Structures are given as C-alpha cells and as structure tokens.
Amino acid sequence: MSRPATQHKRGTYPAYKPSGVAWLGDVPEHWDVRRLKYSASINDEALPETTDPDYEFVYVDIGSVDAAKGIVATETYRFEDAPSRARRIVRDGDTIVSTVRTYLRAIAPIRDPGDNLIVSTGFAVVRPRKLDSGYLSYALRSPFFVETVVSRSTGVSYPAINAPEVGNIGVTIPSLPEQRAIAAFLDRETARIDALIEKKRRQIELLQEKRSALISHAVTKGLDPNAPMKDSGIEWLGKIPAHWEVKRLKFLASIRSGEDAKAVDGEYPLYGANGVIGRTNSPSFTSPRVLIGRVGSSGAINFVNGIFGVSDNCLVLDRPRHVDTAYLHYASLVLDFTPEISKNAQPLITATNVGIKPVALAPLPEQLAIAAFLDRETARIDALIEKVEKSIELLREYRTALISAAVTGKIDVRKEART
C-alpha cells in the first residue's frame, strides 16, 4: 500500500495497511491497533475509607493539569481534611486521563511521584501492562486519542466519560523496541521544543516588563530628561517634574459603578471586571472611559472607546476634569490597588479606595504628548509580543503534530532515536 502523506521531512515506513479506524487512517503494516483495555489496566488502586485520618498526601485535581505542561500544581492534605474525590493512587509510569470536563484535555504522565501522590477520581489512571510507559503516555496525549475522549463524552456543561469507555478506545501498538524508540525520540524532540517555548515566554515577560517601565516613567517623570524635578510627597512616586501637580483620582473624574446589566445577544460589547463578558442592547457610554474592575479582580484596568455597556462589577472613571482620558488610562496603570482590596471571599475595590489614589498630573498639552508617545511605543511592543505569541502557538502545534505523527506511524523515527 502507498505511503501516507506527511508534512514532516522524516522518512516513512516501507508499507502501510488500513487501521480500521477512520480517524486514524493507515498505520505501518506490522503494527496492531487494539483497545486500550487489552494493553493497560485502569484505576487499579484507591485509598480506602479506613485510611488513617492523619495520613498526609500530595493531591492533583483536574484543574492542576495543563494539556501541554502536564501537572502544574499540587496541594497537600491530611486524609481527614481532603476532598472526597482525592482517592486515586498513582505509580511511576502511569498516565492520568481526565474523565470529567474532558474539554480541558487534562492528560499527564506520572514520573517519580513518590509514595504519596493521589489524584482525583475525575481521572482515569491508566497503567501499562504490555506497553512501554513512555510510549503509552505519548499515545494518550496524541490528538487521535484526546479527541476521541472528548467526542465520546456526554453532557453539555459538565461533559464526562466513564473509565470503561476510555478502555474501549483503540491505540496503536508497535513492537516493544519501536515503542521505546518512539518514546526516546519524542522525549528528546519535545524537550527541545519546550525549551524554545520557554525561551520565548521569557521574551514576552521581558517585553511586558519593558512596556510597564515605559509607561511608569512617562507618567511619573515625563518625556523631557532635562526637566527640573521636585519631591512629589508620595513615597512610591518619588520625584516628578517641578511644574507637575499631584492630584487624587477623585478630583480628576467622578467614580461610579456600572449598571446591573446582563449579557445578551446584543449589538454592543458589555464589560465586566476583567474585560468583555458579552453583548448588550442597552449601552451605558458612547465615549472613551477608563474602567477598573472592582469585584473578583485585582483592579484590572481597561481603556474603552465607542459604544459599550458596563456591568456593576466595574468602576467607571467618568466625566474627566482637567485630564486627557488616554493619559488618565496610562496613569491609572501604575497605581497599585492591592492594599485596598477587601479580604472577603469575593475581593472588592470600592470607589473610595480608587478615589484616594494619587496621580502625577502634567499640564494638558504635555498629557496629550505623553499619551501619543505611549500609544505609539506600546503598540510597537504589543506587536512584538503578538509575534512571539504566534511563534509559541506554532511551536505547540508542531509539538502536537510531531507526537501524533510518531505514535500513528506516519513517520519512522527509529534511526533518529538511536542518534
């Protein structure tokens, strides 16, 4: 049979055969395709209810697993205080597959877990019996397996799949030496890709730091490096240009809550505490405004223009006085609202908290020049950030495609695994 088409520049196997699975296509002629339950066990071990109440363990929940990074967070519990879903025991070489909220695609290999790692009963713990554990972990993270789990899940708001159904999904079975070769190849290549992604993430962090520093300097020191300076009287502001003033926000704009608006299938964007939350047919504003999230946020700030609505989870800096709105937006970005956030279960910032914040106020012509400068420079930095984010997205796509191609036999990596 002819070789399948592949985007990869690597070689393919000499001959292929139909897999019998539509979404898998052809596989190498000497490979098998078998249901997972015939090559691995599922949910072998669990903590009994008779466990010592003082037994301490490290716990992994569904939200602690990232589709690309694996396990990204853990919590430590005593058995007595742990959630009732903290029961599944895992061992080195297992792979955990989320069976609830399957759209999250929370699948992760277990490597050197120690003696006390426990995961949620929302995971199926897959333990290889006749498969290399490294190969199995990649096969279970490949698109053909992940999308099958998602497609077989039931429920709209909380899609789920049961463990036996996971066991009925087919997986490709090369020979054991090939499995090890594929796992070794993917270990090396995904590590290389992950290192590139991490390097680009650091580039984004540096660009974001540069953006913040640029804004902070412009709205507290101005654009003229030779301007005479004076003490602002505010510790964190330090020195400001001698001809500037320090004004509290409440003297620069009225501070009001948004409306008790609900998102509908409307014409205009509706803003909540952290940005757009939907559409509305009843806009509240028709001109530029600065919005500060007041509920469930840390004072997230948005600059909004056009026609829009604002929910009551936002504070609006309305009817600005003696200040350009764009300048007010940039000046607000350097304010720290963290000390003013209430320590209730639902974090809250009040209009009074916001109103007392000091702003370094330049004369209006200088405000306009600073805002124009920052518009231009932040747009340039934002374009660079977007470019790097796109390159990260492409690397992630390539990583996924490479895993898929290797574990479905679309490429032959046996020689590369030995180099």
CA-closest candidate to residue 278, choices 310, 253, 244: 310
Q: What is the dihedral of CA 23, 28, 32, 33, to 10 degrees?
A: -10
Question: Which pLDDT tens digit goes with each residue over 205-244?
Answer: 999 999 999 999 999 999 999 999 999 999 999 999 999 9
Span 335-363, mean pLDDT?
Answer: 81
> What letter represents residue 407's amino acid?
V
Measuring CA to CA, how many Å separate 358 from each of 236, 281, 315, 332?
10, 36, 17, 9
CA-CA distance, 90 to 83, in Å (whole number)?
17
Residue 117 sits in a domain whose CATH number is 3.90.220.20
Domain count, the chain: 2
- The verdict on residue 276 lying in a domain is yes
Query: What is the predicted pLDDT for the residue at 348?
Result: 81
- The verdict on residue 349 lying in a domain is yes
CB contact at 8 A, 243 and 367: no
Give the predicted TM-score (pTM) of the model.
0.84
Question: Which pLDDT tens digit goes with each residue over 51-65?
Answer: 999 999 999 999 999
- The verdict on residue 387 lying in a domain is no
Query: What is the predicted pLDDT for the residue at 339?
Result: 61
- The verdict on residue 91 lying in a domain is yes
Residues 69 and 166 reside in one and the same domain: yes
Structural domain harbouring 274: 245-361
Question: Which pLDDT tens digit goes with each residue over 79-124?
Answer: 999 999 999 999 999 999 999 999 899 999 999 998 899 999 999 9
Residues 166 and 256 reside in one and the same domain: no
- The verdict on residue 160 lying in a domain is yes
Using pLDDT thresholds of 50, 70 and 90, give the confidence band for residue 1: very low
- The verdict on residue 380 lying in a domain is no
**In the listed set 361, 388, 407, which residue is the last one of a domain according to the structure?**
361
DSSP codes joined into one string, 130-160: SS-HHHHHHHHHSHHHHHHHHHT-B-SSS-B
Query: What is the predicted pLDDT for the residue at 6?
Result: 43
**In the listed set 346, 361, 376, which residue is the last one of a domain according to the structure?**
361
Residues 270 and 355 reside in one and the same domain: yes
What percent of the chain has pLDDT above 70? 94
**In the listed set 155, 173, 191, which residue is the last one of a domain according to the structure?**
173
Residues 252 and 130 reside in one and the same domain: no
Residues 270 and 356 reside in one and the same domain: yes
- The verdict on residue 205 lying in a domain is no
- The verdict on residue 419 lying in a domain is no
Distance in Å from the first CA to the final CA of the chain: 29
Question: Which pLDDT tens digit goes with each residue over 159-197?
Answer: 999 999 999 999 999 999 999 999 999 999 999 999 999
Q: What are the helix (H) ranges across 248-363?
A: 325-333, 351-355
Question: Which pLDDT tens digit goes with each residue over 341-354?
Answer: 555 556 788 889 89
